[in-house]
Structure 1
Amino acid sequence: MSTEAREGTASADPSVAPTGGEDAPTTEGGLRRGLKNRHIQMIALGGAIGTGLFYGSASSIGMAGPSITLAYLIGGAVIFLIMRALGEMSWHTPVSGAFSHYAFTNWGRFAGFFSGWNYWFNYIAVSMAELAVVGIYVNFWLPDVPTWVSAAIFLLIVTCVNLVSVKAYGEFEFWFAIVKVVAIIAMIALGAVIVFFGVGQTSSTGISNLWEHGGYFPNGLWGMATALVVVMFSFGGVELIGITAGEAENPRRSIPKAINQVVYRILIFYVGAILVMLCIFPWDQIGEGGSPFVIIFDNIGIAGAAALLNVVVLTAAVSAYNSGLYSNGRMLYSLAQQGNAPKYLGKLNRNGSPMAGVLTSSAVTALAVVLNFLVPGKVFLYTMAVALIAGVFNWTMVVITQMKFRKRIGAAEVEKLGFKMPFYPVSNYIVLVFLAGVVVLMAFLPDFRYALYVGPVWVGILYVAFRFKTRSERRPAPVES
């Protein structure tokens, strides 16, 4: 990194807690620390348990068959390492807009600029993907309502929620996520009863569906490998924990606890729910005409089960979009505080919410409504592919930034860390190789391949924007006559 890129790496974010110090309230006029540990965990669950599980799982099951469960375990292990890298930096310096700030401080100005804007771009794509399927779920009850109308309604509702205080937002997302968690646990329990005992007119299915339709690896190891692409999209959102650090009441206690708990909980929910589904229904008969969970329980004929599950999957999509809009508003706020975004994005309303960032992100996300009107049925796959390549950029930046963070603070300070990246630096290189492999796999999937063109173009746009910004900063002010 050149000297030029290193200029200005000191934090300009007024909400930053003193480096290495005790938990401190946010400075006056900045974001407010109103999120408790339960809020943080549910916000992360809300971001990660959405369309990736309830809708996207159909395509990943089609690729891997029953071995999709192994793919989730592998992907989950990698995500855990990424989260530990982020958690180490969040423990040391708990700030809002974590990705951008850490890259800015430990790597350089362009790294901070790129990391922040790319994360925002990532969650714009994720939010659009969530909105894209809202209309499909609503059509379960109201088949004549256009999907873009449903998307527009929920866009307005979620935007209003994000303009209230962070504590109110945290409560809203907590209960939204609770609905999903309780429903998934109940679904796993009900599924287990069906598998081993049967329910009503449905006799027990046993677990033979896991190998009777082509084996555990019906499409070979290659099928499982390509399914990792969809799996990694599904895990996107766990990193929201890092964004909440600037508004957590006790980040040095809540962030490590949330990271350790949320990853294994998501693994249990994903693997458990899909495992039960695959036991009940042959993997090669799971279609993509809606949520596979709803379709399966509808086919089994359990009264009311499909309708209830549809409420859950709709809640899941809205909750994930809610988490995405929350994080995007905070990221734009952090970028504005660094001088990497227009100043108006650093404005807060009287509730302490980054109103300008939320409204700007919501306005851009509204493109999903337009796309649902123009190309209904195709928006989800397009936005999922873009979200994944942006997510890979984010995760790569986190892992490399953590390595630079270790070098910057020195061995003595590393020893004082209360939450460390395990097996550093070997684990860092394992994650980087794995992420590179995911990008290679995307090239073999037609629905994801075009994102490999979008990614470099997006990087180029950000680089040009950064160069233009730095050149403008160096331009001397006009001399008054």
Structure 2
Amino acid sequence: MSKTATASDLNTNLRARHITMLSIGGVIGAGLFVGSGSAVALAGPASIISYAIAGLLVVLIMRMLGEMAAASPDSGSFSTYADRAIGKWAGYTIGWLYWWFWVLVIPLEANVAATILHGWFESVPVWTFSLFITLALTGSNLLNVKNYGEFEFWLALTKVIAILAFIVIGCMALTGVIPSAENAGLSLMWSQGGFMPHGIGSVLAAVLITMFSFMGTEIVTIAAAETSSPAEHVVRATRSVIGRISVFYLGSIFMVITLVPWNSHGLTTLGSYQTVLESLHIPYAKLIMDCVILLAVTSCLNSALYTASRMLFSLSKRGDAPALARKTNRVKTPYVAVMLSTIAAFLTVIANYYAPKNVFDFLIASTGSVALLVYLVIAISQLRMRTKMRHDQMPIRMWGYPWITLAVIAFIVVMLACMLFMPDQRGQVLATLILAAAVVLSSFWVHRKKRDQRAPAGQLEKSVG
């Protein structure tokens, strides 16, 4: 039997090890294992600067978000804080954009996983695997949140082991323990046309590619709300983000640019990890990476469904989504929000088959700049919320307030402006801004309608008085 959520709305069965592993590797997806090859091919060895810039931005954003989340844990995370700090329209808009981002991730990741499985079992159609994976993870998310935590723990642990193994193998190749190509080594960082072969513009363009790999770091502040001590977990995850980015992302990219030439064809066709492993003649490199990527995209799909459902649940609690979405089952799982998010994901798949191609292309492009908008809202919210909080309410604080926060806001605005002048990025920015404008307009309509509904009751009370 279901019930409408109250103050004690969600379960708190996520354990410390679940949150720890989720914060370490839970959101690392195919973007690092495969997509990083595109960044290296675009910016050359200087792609490590692109990852460093994107990583620094994420570190600062997580520090701001951690400050707010530790002081006031909430399953709506930055959407709730935007609601309080900027206005109802801001929380509404960024919440729905974020929900839409993860809803689209679900079918995309399911298709990647299904394609890998189809390569192993060619008699089974891709759509069958995609449907099975999505339904299986939907079923998992409908159960106790502890199931999500346990599932993510093992998947994230596998990804962490894979990344660390890759870095160790890379170090062994660089030190001569494992035979490598004759030109491998630090000299590769400048011997193939220089450290920055395509100029500073390519480095900035690569930042936009790398940004997608980092999206999801903020999920830990959403999941922490379903633990018995959310503030403690938020503080720990926020403080560890520098180490995670340094080891997993910068460490991986360093191995790639020192072991294979940045202009290797395989970087864009096979992915960075597989290209490196094959250059070192590691047996079954393709099979190994297929298994790792399969686990990675399954993990991301699972997290996407979890995150989308929690954001929809939070929007519903605040009256910004259908009231039905705030219903929970006997184990306090927002089952309606899970189902609605899954249904929305299936509708996008149907749109891919039956809608005109430019319609689906617009839907995909509309998520392209959501990460930057989310980061911008987090920074503005922290800038305004800090003045309303006492120091004893903040277990963790943003560095250099308000100047670093203002610098981050300026940087994001400049990045969005630059994207408008980049042919490859302009479509994504415009699509995201069009969608954002539509959501903002709908927020004013929804909130005005709610005010109009409350007005008669208020007028009646006034007349009776």
TM-score higher than 0.5 here? Answer: yes
Answer yes or no: is 1:421 the counterpart of 2:398: yes
Cα deviation code 1:241-290 (max 9, x no counterpart): 22123212212211111111134213311111121122221110134234
Structure 2 contact 69–234 (Cα < 8 Å) conserved: yes
Counterpart of 1:451?
Answer: 428
Structure 1 match to 2:297: 317
1:354 CA drift (Å): 1.1
Residue pairs, 1:121-270, within 5 angstroms? 121-138=100-117, 141-142=120-121, 147-199=126-178, 205-270=184-249
Structure-1 separation of matches of 2:196 and 2:134? 40
Instruction: Compute the displacement of 1:185 (Å).
Output: 0.2
CA gap 1:48/1:383 in 2 versus in 1, 3 angstroms: farther
| Structure 1 residues 310 and 141, CA gap change in structure 2 (3 angstroms) | same
Q: Residues 378 and 216 from structure 1, CA distance in 2 versus in 1: closer, same or farther, beyond 3 angstroms? A: farther
Q: CA RMSD in A?
A: 2.9
1:424-472 deviations in Å (ceiling 9; x for gaps): 1111111112212321332344443212221222122212322222232
Equivalent residue, structure 1, for 2:325: 345
Q: Identify which of 286, 292, 299 aligns with 2:272.
A: 292
| CA distance in structure 1 between the aligned counterparts of 2:402 and 2:72, rounded to whole angstroms | 20
- Contact kept in structure 1, 2:362 and 2:431, CA below 8 Å: no
Return the alpha-carbon distance in structure 1 between the equivalents of residues 72 and 56 of structure 2.
25
**Equivalent position of 1:86 in the other structure:** 65
User: Deviations 1:67-116 (Å, cap 9, x if unpaired)?
Assistant: 11111111111111111111111111111111222122222221221121
Asked whether 1:335 is paired with 2:315, we answer yes
**Which of 59-68 and 193-202 deviates more?**
193-202
Distance change in 2, residues 1:142/1:373 (3 Å): farther
Alpha-carbon separation, structure 2, partners of 1:350 and 1:440: 48
Change (3 A) 1:135 1:55: farther
8 Å contact from structure 2 (residues 27, 303) kept in 1? no
Deviates more, 1:456-465 or 1:131-140: 131-140
Shift of 1:128: 4.2
Q: Residue 333 of structure 1: CA displacement?
A: 0.7
Question: How far, CA to CA, are the matches of 2:337 and 2:98 in structure 1?
Answer: 13
Q: Which residue of 2 aligns with 1:406?
A: 386
1:285-308 residue CA offsets vs partner (Å, 9 max, x unmatched): 134234332244235432123312
Please report how far the alpha carbon of residue 132 of structure 1 lies from its aligned counterpart in structure 2 after TM superposition: 4.2
2:462 equivalent in structure 1: none
Q: What's 1:436 paired with?
A: 413
Greater helix percent: which structure?
2
Opposite residue 127 of structure 1, the aligned amino acid is I
Whether the aligned pair in 1 keeps the contact of 2:180 and 2:279 (CA below 8 Å) is: no
Per-residue CA deviation, residues 293-348 of structure 1 (Å, 9 max, x unaligned), is 22442354321233122211111111112111111111111111111110110011
Structure-2 residue corresponding to 1:463 = 440
Q: Aligned partners of 1:77 and 1:234: how far apart in 2?
A: 14
1:77 aligns with 2:56: yes
| Amino acid in structure 2 at the alignment position of 1:169 | Y
For 2:172 and 2:183, how far apart are their aligned partners in 1? 8
Q: Who is 1:279 aligned against?
A: 258
Q: What is the deviation of 1:197?
A: 1.4
Deviation (angstroms), 1:372: 6.7
Q: Select between 457-466 and 185-194 the one with higher mean Cα deviation.
A: 457-466
TM-score, length-scaled by structure 1: 0.86
Partners of 1:58 and 1:288 within 8 A in 2: yes
2:31 alignment partner AA: G
Contact kept, 8 Å, 2:75 with 2:311, in 1: the verdict is yes
Q: Deviations over 1:132-160 (max 9, x none)?
A: 43244335545676544443332222212
Q: Distance in 1 between matches of 2:150 and 2:276?
A: 32
CA distance in 2 between counterparts of 1:215 and 1:203 reads 18
| Higher deviation after alignment, 260-269 or 392-401 | 260-269
Give the gaps of 5 or more residues in structure 2.
458-465
Return the letter of the residue paired with 2:217: V
Q: Which residue type is aligned with residue 405 of structure 1?
A: M
User: Equivalents in 2 of 1:271, 1:385: separation in Å?
Assistant: 27
Please give the alpha-carbon distance, in whole angstroms, between the structure 2 residues aligned to 1:221 and 1:86: 30
Q: Does 1:112 align with 2:84?
A: no
Does 246-255 or 183-192 show the bigger shift? 246-255
State the one-letter code of the partner of 2:246. L
Counterpart in the other structure of 1:387: 367
Equivalent in 13, 29, 38 of residue 34 of structure 1: 13
Larger displacement relative to structure 2 (162-171 or 459-468): 459-468
Shift of 1:52: 1.8
Check 1:135–1:168 CA distance in 2 against 1; reply closer, same or farther (3 A cut).
Answer: closer
Matched ranges for 1:365-376 at <5 A: 365-367=345-347, 369-370=349-350
- Name structure 1 gaps, 5 residues minimum: 1-11, 16-26
Q: Which amino acid aligns with 1:33?
A: T
* Alignment size in residue pairs: 451
Q: 1:213 to 1:49 in 2, by over 3 A?
A: same
Identity %, equivalent residues: 32
* TM-score between both structures, scaled by the size of structure 2: 0.88
Q: Could you tell me how far 1:222 is from its partner in structure 2?
A: 1.4
Counterpart CA distance in 2 for 1:248 and 1:263 is 23
Distance 1:44 1:458 in 2: 30
Q: Measure, in 1, the Cα distance between the counterparts of 2:269 and 2:366.
A: 22
Give yes or no for the alignment of 1:306 onto 2:286: yes
User: Residues 39 and 171 of structure 1 are in contact (CA less than 8 Å); yes or no, is this contact kept in structure 2?
Assistant: yes
Question: 2:460 maps to what in 1?
Answer: none
Per the alignment, residue 463 of structure 2 pairs with: none
Distance in 2 separating the partners of 1:202 and 1:140: 30
Distance 1:188 1:287 in 2: 17
Kindly tell me: are residues 277 and 367 of structure 1, through their superposed partners in 2, closer, same or farther at Cα, counting changes over 3 Å? Answer: farther
